[in-house]
Amino acid sequence: MSSAGVITSFIKKEFRQIMRSREMLIVLFALPAVQLLVMGFAVTNEVKNLRLGILDYDRSASSRDLISSFSSGDRFQVVPVSESDNAAELISAWKAQLVLVIPPDFGADYQMGRQSSLQLVLDGIDGNSAAVANSYAAGVIADFYQRQSKTRLHRAPLPRLSPGVQLISQMSFNPDLKSSLNTIPGIIAILVTVTSMMLSAISLVKEKELGTLEQLMVTPVKRYQLMAGKLIPYLIITLVQLQVAILLAGLIFGLELAGSYFTLILFSVVYLFTSLGLGILISSRVNSQQQAMFFSWFIMVVMILLSGFFVPIRNMPQSIQWISFINPLSHYMTVLREIVVKGSSLAQLSRELWILSASGLLVFGFSVLSFRKRV
Amino acid sequence: MNVLKIKELSVRYGSVEALSEVDLEVQPAMVYGIIGPDGAGKTTLMRSICTLLPYQEGSIEVLGYDAASQAKEIRARIGYMPQRFSLYQDLSVQQNLRFFARLFKVNHAEMLKRREQLYKFSRLEPFAKRLTGNLSGGMKQKLALSCALIHTPELIILDEPTFGVDPVSRVEFWQILHQLKADGISIVVSTPYMDEASQCDKIVLLHKGRVIGQGSPAETISGWKGKLYSLTSRDLQKLYAFLQTKAGKDNLQLFGSEIHLFSEQELSSDKIADWQSEFPELESCVEIKPGMEDVFLRMMQ
């Protein structure tokens, strides 16, 4: 019997066991669906429905105009306020996330072309959202001035607000700045990591717990055959799940694969050597499935936090950026984004291919070599 | 040639000595029993033989191969049945057999032939398609034995194979072992049951990692020096307390509804009469032949 025969019978046996358990169907189909639905809609840095309080001390036609430009669209939700309220109280009472204060002479100053000022008070607890809200509000105000100046061009002198240089920005690849285009490849990368690492982390230790590993050890099966027999099924399962996730992303978010499917699969297989290797390394070192779970979760959380999924890597301190650089998940995530959104070619991603291959070789090699056929 | 030769074997787990200076030789086509209570080192010994445990001192030679350096050769030629049931419960009987046949590189035609033979003695054929997890305890053990035999090994190592199995299945299991022995297979089997010890050709008594006795069951028993008496009473507890003052605790052993008393010399009928007058509830006191259990318990002291 050839070595391939031994591996094939291993693969067959794994699949028989996997397919017999209902959990696996959940992993294959329900997990991607839930992750995409929940995280795809929830994890977004777009800011919507900001509760805006407006304290209008002017009550002129201009101030009403300004207010109405805030209330159109779904970014701001103007909350009712009474005259006696003040900005700080509105925010600390959680009635508003930002408050616009229009001073008494706003309309008159504006009509006369005099410098006028508006006050914007923001809840700075969540710095990122506050910054986004601030820029939205500034945009609305700038917009308002521009519109006003166009309509009254012939009547009053232009207020010196519009600068001489106009900046026209063009957003490539994601013109609508849809957050989902950025998060969904990230979610898929996380999904692939979680599934492959969990499955492989449990694999050996489950046999250890059941006692079957002891029986396997006394057979003349070679280390690499045992590893291959265990990991090839997980590789296939994870790739199927990846496929399901891509299909669902297309159905739910209208995500279209801009790049080549082949490149995507190639990178996924290369990356899986690392994540499966990490799992099997954990599995050969621990003594119970519980410990395996604990260790794989710990590693995964660090990998995910340092992947650039929640916080851009460039925001991190230099030392952490270096750790992120050796985090294979961050490279895989980058690659997925590039392929899915930009349609980057294999040649453009060659640096990432080298990094991921090296990591796969290192981690997988180490985990195979450190596994001993002993009790 | 001996199928198994162990010399001065010592195995340590950290600072705990699990086996110390064990010597053992197993001849071909023999049932060799390793007898001892829990924690005596039986499993450690068997795992060392199967090349699953590294050992610190001594040497193990299995079928002429050295266990420390030729693990691969040994593993291909022996069958091992661990103490814990260790087949895949979520695979069927047939699938388990086929899987292990593959791992031992038994080709398909040979496997079918072998399976036929194994089905014959195990009588598992009607359950071929049943999930292993749904088999009874006795059937599971027979299947585990079959899997250990699928590659026609010369030596099989069975670690407490009848543990937790009902008495009828135990008898059947031992019949199978005798049949295998008749076919020329050497068997090393560990057991905590003394009645099984007497079915072995040779036994080694293991206690706290040391060999305290070795030989055939008959030899072991005939090596007994002294006399053994069985005493009964309605109130065994009281009798035990009484005898303790007369003969000492070390010479007494509770055996179900009787007490076994060891004595270096024959008890005179006067002495027994004395005891009876002192302790009227003493019903009988007769000399008996020692069993394996008596021998073992005596040796432990």
Q: Tell whether B147 and B30 lie within a shared domain.
A: yes
CATH number at residue B118: 3.40.50.300
Residue B255: CB partners within 8 Å, gap ≥ 6?
B230, B293
**Overall number of domains in chain B:** 2
Q: Letter for the amino acid at A2?
A: S
Closest Cα in chain A to B151: A219
Parent domain of B112: 4-221
- CB-based contact A77:A125 (threshold 8 Å): no
> How many Å apart are CA A274 and CA A363, to the nearest integer?
6
Nearest to B28 by CA among B199, B220, B159, B188: B188
Q: Tell whether B184 and B235 lie within a shared domain.
A: no
Closest Cα in chain B to A213: B86
Two tokens, residue B116? 């036929």
The CATH number assigned to the domain with range A50-160 reads 3.40.1710.10
How do the domains of chain A map onto residue ranges?
Answer: 3-44+179-374, 50-160
Residues from B in contact with A at Cβ < 8 Å: 47, 50-54, 71-72, 75-76, 78, 80, 82, 84-91, 95, 98-100, 102-107, 147
3-state secondary structure of B283: strand
What pLDDT, on the 0 to 100 scale, is given for residue A188? 92
Residue B64: CB partners within 8 Å, gap ≥ 6?
B1
The shortest CB-CB distance from B52 to any of A6, A220, A374 is to A374
User: Is A220 in contact with B50 (Cβ distance < 8 A)?
Assistant: no
Q: What would the DSSP string read from start to end of A191-203?
A: HHHHHHHHHHHHH
What pLDDT, on the 0 to 100 scale, is given for residue B129? 94
Residue B135: CB partners within 8 Å, gap ≥ 6?
B93, B127, B143
3-state secondary structure of B21: strand
> How many Å apart are CA A108 and CA A110, to the nearest integer?
5
What pLDDT, on the 0 to 100 scale, is given for residue A45? 66
Q: Tell whether B213 and B274 lie within a shared domain.
A: no
Q: Tell whether B171 and B270 lie within a shared domain.
A: no
Q: Tell whether B257 and B273 lie within a shared domain.
A: yes
Q: Tell whether B248 and B281 lie within a shared domain.
A: yes
> How many Å apart are CA A36 and CA A189, to the nearest integer?
11
User: Is A1 in contact with B107 (Cβ distance < 8 A)?
Assistant: yes
Maximum distance among all Cα pairs of chain A, rounded to whole angstroms: 96
Domain boundary residue, one of B202, B221, B240 = B221
**Strands laid side by side in the B78-81 sheet:** B78-81, B155-159, B186-191, B31-35, B202-207, B210-215
Q: Tell whether B264 and B178 lie within a shared domain.
A: no
What pLDDT, on the 0 to 100 scale, is given for residue A152? 56
Q: Tell whether B11 and B153 lie within a shared domain.
A: yes
What pLDDT, on the 0 to 100 scale, is given for residue A167? 62
The shortest CB-CB distance from A220 to any of B98, B104, B107 is to B104
Q: Tell whether B72 and B133 lie within a shared domain.
A: yes
A 10 A CB-CB count for A51 gives 17
pTM for the complete prediction?
A: 0.75
Nearest to A213 by CA among A19, A16, A11, A375: A375
- CB-based contact A335:A307 (threshold 8 Å): no
- CB-based contact A327:A352 (threshold 8 Å): no
> Which portions of chain A are predicted below pLDDT 50?
154, 156-164
Domain boundary residue, one of B203, B221, B239 = B221
Two tokens, residue B263? 């004595």
> Which portions of chain B are predicted below pLDDT 50?
none
Domain boundary residue, one of B164, B188, B221 = B221
Q: Tell whether B283 and B154 lie within a shared domain.
A: no
- CB-based contact A214:B100 (threshold 8 Å): no
A 10 A CB-CB count for B254 gives 12
Q: Tell whether B140 and B12 lie within a shared domain.
A: yes
Q: Tell whether B217 and B229 lie within a shared domain.
A: no
What pLDDT, on the 0 to 100 scale, is given for residue B150? 93
CATH number at residue B287: 3.30.70
User: Is A214 in contact with B98 (Cβ distance < 8 A)?
Assistant: no
